[in-house]
Structure formats: C-alpha cells, structure tokens
Structure 1
Amino acid sequence: MRKPTIKDVAARAQVSLKTVSRVINDETGVHASTRERVQRAVAALGYRPDASARSVRTGQSYAIGLLYDNPNPYYVIAMQSGVLSVCRQTGYGLQIHPCDASSPTLADEIVQLVKHARLAGIVLAPPMSERQPLVDELVANGVRLVRIVSSTTDPQGGSACVYVDDRDAAYDITEHLIQLGHQRIGFLWGGKSHGSSWERHKGYEDALRDYGIALDPDLVVEGDYSFDDGFRGARRLLALPQPPTAIFGSNDEIAAGVLAAARSGGLNVPYDLSIAGFEDSPFSKQSWPPLTTAKQATEEIARHAARRLLHDIREEPDAPAPNEGFSPELVVRGSTAPPRPKG
C-alpha cells in the first residue's frame, strides 16, 4: 500500500492543501473545528509529513537533533521517546546523535552536524548541556538549543533550559534512610562530569548535616553511572571495619550493582542492608526486592525540552516560554527498612 499524502488528507477533511499544511505546521488562523477535522483525517490515514521534502520545498528546516553522552541506556531511550513524541505531533524529523563530551573539538563537531544535517535546533542533554563555554560557543555560531540541566532553581539568563532538582530529591532519599534509623549511610557517586552527580551528593550531605550526622569520607565512593561501579563501590563499602547499614546509589543502575554485591556477600536486603537508587528506571522495578528510588520523569522532561525548542524555532508570537522545572519524587519500595537491632 502506498503512503498517504497531504492530498489524501485534504480530500478526506474536505479542505485545501494550504489548510492541511497550516494545521500540520501548527500555524495560527485555522478555525478550531477545521483544525480538528484535519487532525482526525491525519490520524485516520496514518499520515506522516516528510520532513526532508518540506525542507526542500519551503527552504526551512523541519528536523531537530537530540545530542547526548550517557552510559545509561534507559535514560537515553526515555529521552529519545520524549523528543520523538513531540516531533511526530509537529511533523518534525529527529536525528539522534551520541557525542563524546570529552572531545576537545566538540563545539566544532556539533556546529558541523547542525549545518550538514540541516537541523533547525538541538536538545542538548547532560553533561554537555551543563558546560557553559560549550553552550556559549554553540549559541555564538547560531545553533538554536534547549538544555536539560540539574539545578535547584531556574538558571535564568543564557539559553533556554529545562531543569531538574536532583538535590532536593537526594535529600528526601537520605532523609528517608535516616528516619528509618540508619546512621551509617554510604553514597556512590555517578560520573563527576554530570551536574546531577554533584547535586545528588549535595542533597545527601545536606540531609546528614540537618540530622546531626557527621559526614564520613570513607562512606563516599566515586564512580560512574553504571552497574559495575555500583558493584565495585558496594564491595568496597561492605569491606569496611564498620560497614554502612544503608547505601544510596546515584542512579538505579548503581543501586542494582549494590544489590548484586549484597547478594554475593550473603546479605539480606533490606534487613542487613538497605539500598536506594535514583530515577525510577526499569532496574528499580525489576530487581528483587524492588528499589526505593526517586521517580524522575525523564520522558516528560524531554518532551518539555522539545516543545520549548520548537517554540523558539518557530518564533511563536506569544511571550517567550519560561524555563520549566521538575522535582523527582521519593518512591519507597521493599529495598529499604530499619536496620537490624544490634546484639
């Protein structure tokens, strides 16, 4: 069967080709009932605009990019799904591009990518989004972008962003463990190139301080956002003369590694060791016991970033869209419990 065309949509909705085009491009000036009729025809026919053809025809770009450097596949998949859903709604194409955030020529590489792929703009994910010199150079080269960053408040000024309050969520996780009765709480870092790692560690520190618990550097282990680093970090903590009774991993993949290390050492989770993660990825639900974590709406965050980018690209006449913030929420599951009584 041939693919439906814009002419098919116009015929089914009984409107002109121009009206269909204006609805697909989300332009103003189309009566609500007409817009609804066109949208019903699009849905019924399964019509998908050809972004490259539209670009050639109009001289404008109808594709955006999602750029990331993250070892967590669940995070990347959720980001892709969120941005892609907005692209499908608006008739834009999407180019997904992994990057090496440590590359000294990263700014030039991104500028060339945008130019050669004729991208109208990019959604820039951490850690690249949190490097102000890189962002400044991209903007100076005319790259439209929206950043996703870890921040407790709206980082006003500079380029548009969606920000996530990792610090407050990490505080809630640590407070939960303290209120269960844990005093020795280990912390496993994610990659230090990510602002989220620093914010989650700061939330951990703040909660300990507010509850009068001294920060023990032996209970803090550096690593990356990976299962293997969670396993290694947990083995190191559990070998201490006074091991922790709870461990907070900076994401669920790390926490799953902690769970594996606990099992390999014959520990009963949560009674011998409580474990908490962050992000509410499939790791947190599929493990046994399921992990206490912070629910981060990664797909929704990506959708908001894509919508903000398209708002700027299309230079919509209303007021500039504000930067939007998200606060991950504590989800208590079976991996945390009061520590065993001594003796």
Structure 2
Amino acid sequence: MRSPTIKDVAEKAGVSLKTVSRVINNEPSVHERTREKVQRAIDALGYQPDPSARSLRGTRAWAIGLVYDNPNAHYVISMQNGVLSVCRERGFGLQIHPCDSTSPTLVEELCELVRRSRLAGLVLAPPMSEQKELIETLAKENIPFVRIISARKDPKDGYPCVFVDDRDAAYAITEHLIQLGHHRIGFLWGGKHHRSSPERYQGYEDALRAYGMPLDNELVVEGDYSFDDGFRGARKLLALEHRPTAIFGSNDEIAAGVLAAAKSGGIDVPWELSIAGFEDSPFSKQSWPALTTARQATTDIGRHATRRLIAELEREAHGIAGEISNEGFSPELVVRGSTAPIRK
C-alpha cells in the first residue's frame, strides 16, 4: 500500500491543500476547529510529513541536529529518544551528530553541518552546550540552538537552555550517606570538561560542610565518567589505611566500577561499604545490590529542550514578540540496596 499524502488528508478532512499545509506547519492563522478536523484526518490516515521534502520545497528548514560528545551510551540513547519523540510530534527530521568537543575546528564543523544539511537549529548536549566561544559564534551566525547545561538556576545570559541542578541532587546523596552514619565518604570525579562534575562535587562538599564534617582531600579522586575510572579510583580509596565507609561516584558507571572493586576485594556491600551513583542508568538497576542514585530524567530533558527550540523557531517564523522562559530539572534521590547504616 502507498503511503498517505497531503492530498489524501485534505480530501478526508474536506479542506484545501493549503489549509492542511498551514496545520502541518503550525501556523497561527488556522481556526481551532479546522485544526482539530485536519489533525483527526492525519491521525486516521497515519500521515507523516517528509521533513527533507518540505525543506527542499520551501525556504524554511524542517530538520534539527542533536550534537553530543559523551561516552555514556545510556545518556546518549535516552537523549536521542527524547529529542526524536518531539521531532516526530512536530513533523521535524532529526540528524544525530556525535563529535569531539575538544576539536579546535568544532565551531566551523557545526556551522558547516547546519548549512550543508539545511538544519533549522541545534540541540546542544554537554559539554558543547557549556563552551562560551561556540555559543557566541552560533548566535553571531544566526543559528538557532538550545543548550542542555548543568546549573543551579536559570543563568539568564540571553541564550536558551534547559538547566539541570546537579549540585542539589549531589547534596541529597551525600546527606543520605551522612545520615546513615558515614563520616569518611569518598568522592570520585567525572570528567572535568563537563560542568556537571564540579557541580556534583560542590554538592558533596556543601553537604559535608553543612554537617560540620571536614573535607579530606585524601578521599577525593579525579577521573572520568567511566566504569574503569570508577574501579581504579575505588581501588585507590580502599587501599588507604583508614579507608572510607562510603563512596559516591559521579555517575552510575563510576559507581558500578566501585562495586566491582569492592567485590574483587571481598568487601561486603553495603555493610562494609556503601556505594552511591548518579543518573539512574541501567547500571544502577542491574547491579547487585542495586545502586542508590539520583534519577535524572534524560529523556524528558531532551523533550523539553527540543520543544524549547521549536518554540523559538515558531516564534521567529511568525514574528511573535516576547521571550520564552527556560526550564529547570532537579534529579531525585533514589535509595536502593547499595547503601546502609554504618556497621558499628
């Protein structure tokens, strides 16, 4: 069977091709009842607009780019799912663009990507979203974008974003460990080129300070957001004469590495060592015991970022005045079997 066309939609809804086009393009001049009638016809026929064909026919672009550089496959897939779901809802195509955030030609690469692929705009994941030079250049080149950044509040710097309060969630994790009776709590960093790393460390440090506990630099180990660095960092901490009774890994991959190191050393988790991660990835649920973590709604964050970008595109396309507010997320503490009261 052939795929339904815009002509089929127009015939079923009893309207003109131009009216269907206006509904698909989300133009504000369509009466609400007419819009609903056309939408019912679209749903009944299963019609899907072709973003590439629409871009070629007109001057407006109908595809969005998702730009990322992240070793965490769970994060990338969850983000893609969130962005893609909104693109499908709104009739946009999606181009996935992994890249090297440290490349000296990154700015030129992304500008060329937008021009060559006729992209309407970009969703920027960390750490690209936190690079000032890149953001300023995209704005200067009039390339629409939205950033996903780690921040405690809306930065209000004039650039659109969705912000995630990593510091607050890290504070809650550290506080949970302190309230279980742990006084020697190790901390394993993620990659420092991600702003989430210092934000999560700040939450750890602030919680210790709030409870009147000293910060022991011997218990803090630098690394990256990876299982291997979690394993290596844990081995270093567990080799100390006065080893920690709890370890907070900056993400679940790190925490899973800590769990593997503990088991390889015959350490009973959680009774001899409590472990916490961050993000609520499959690592946290599939480990044994399951990991205490902070649930970060990555798919929802991707959805909100894409809606934010499309809202900006619609506002500019139709000459609508006013600003669109930025949205914030705060990951929630999830307590599982990897943390327990300190054994006296």
Task: Report the TM-score when normalising by structure 1.
Answer: 0.97
- Correspondence for 2:47: 47
Confirm whether residue 129 of structure 1 aligns to residue 99 of structure 2: no
- The secondary structure found in structure 1 opposite 2:163 is strand
Alignment of 1:33-112 (within 5 A): 33-112=33-112
Q: CA deviation at 1:46?
A: 2.0
Aligned length: 341
Distance 1:202 1:62 in 2: 40
Distance 1:9 1:235 in 2: 63
Distance 2:337 2:12 in 1: 54
- The secondary structure found in structure 2 opposite 1:67 is strand
Alignment of 1:149-298 (within 5 A): 149-298=149-298
Q: CA deviation at 1:45?
A: 2.1
Q: Which runs of 5+ in 2 are unaligned?
A: none
Q: CA deviation at 1:13?
A: 2.1
Distance 1:157 1:260 in 2: 42
- The secondary structure found in structure 2 opposite 1:71 is coil
Residues 108-140 of structure 1 show CA distances to partners (whole Å, capped at 9, x for unaligned) of: 111111110111110111011111112111211
Distance 1:292 1:23 in 2: 46
Q: Which moved more, 1:113-122 or 1:3-12?
A: 3-12
- The secondary structure found in structure 1 opposite 2:43 is helix
Distance 2:224 2:178 in 1: 25
Residues 18-71 of structure 1 show CA distances to partners (whole Å, capped at 9, x for unaligned) of: 222122112213233332222222222221111111111112110110000000
Confirm whether residue 320 of structure 1 aligns to residue 307 of structure 2: no
Q: Which moved more, 1:186-195 or 1:10-19?
A: 10-19
- Correspondence for 1:138: 138
- The secondary structure found in structure 1 opposite 2:214 is coil
Distance 2:273 2:165 in 1: 27
Aligned-partner residue type, residue 336 of structure 1: T
Distance 2:312 2:45 in 1: 30
- Correspondence for 1:9: 9
Q: CA deviation at 1:318?
A: 5.6
Distance 2:57 2:145 in 1: 24
Q: Which moved more, 1:11-20 or 1:55-64?
A: 11-20
- Correspondence for 2:343: 340
Residues 192-239 of structure 1 show CA distances to partners (whole Å, capped at 9, x for unaligned) of: 000000100000000001111111111111111111111111111111
Distance 2:258 2:79 in 1: 25
Distance 1:299 1:218 in 2: 36
Q: Structure 1 stretches (4+) deviating beyond 4 angstroms? A: none
Distance 1:151 1:110 in 2: 24
- Percent identity reads 70
Distance 1:140 1:313 in 2: 16
Change (3 A) 1:200 1:223: same
Aligned CA RMSD, in angstroms, stands at 1.2
Q: CA deviation at 1:16?
A: 1.8
Q: CA deviation at 1:183?
A: 0.4
Distance 2:40 2:338 in 1: 47
Q: CA deviation at 1:186?
A: 0.6
Aligned-partner residue type, residue 132 of structure 2: Q
